[in-house]
Amino acid sequence: MDENGSGFTKNIRLNRPQDIRRMVGKVINILLQDGEMTIDKAKTIATLSNTALKSMELGDLAERINKIEKMFNSQE
């Protein structure tokens, strides 16, 4: 953990869906380790989990589109 207790040691770049997923995972882990579970904390974790799932879907779609584009461009 860093000196301010946030769990983040540097600024995070959020340029790709994978970056979002990694950041959300860190925040969820911090919430899970921080004291007892509350309703608000559980709701926040659920929301962040949905965000992580969406970023996974978007990352997978982006990879598939890139592969299709490469195949299409190589056939020209």
The token duo for 68 is 């299709």
CA-to-CA distance for 43 and 35, rounded, in angstroms?
A: 15
Report pLDDT for 13: 82
pLDDT digits (tens, 9 = 90+) for 19-76: 888 899 999 999 999 999 999 999 999 999 999 999 889 889 999 999 999 999 998 7
Q: If we measure between CA atoms, which residue out of 13, 12, 43, 10 comes closest to residue 28?
A: 43
CB distance 40 to 68 below 8 Å: no
Would the CA dihedral through 41, 21, 33, 5 be positive or negative?
negative
pLDDT digits (tens, 9 = 90+) for 2-11: 555 666 667 8
Q: If we measure between CA atoms, which residue out of 13, 26, 20 comes closest to residue 56?
A: 20
The model carries a pTM of 0.68
Q: Report, as an integer, the average pLDDT of 10-16.
A: 82
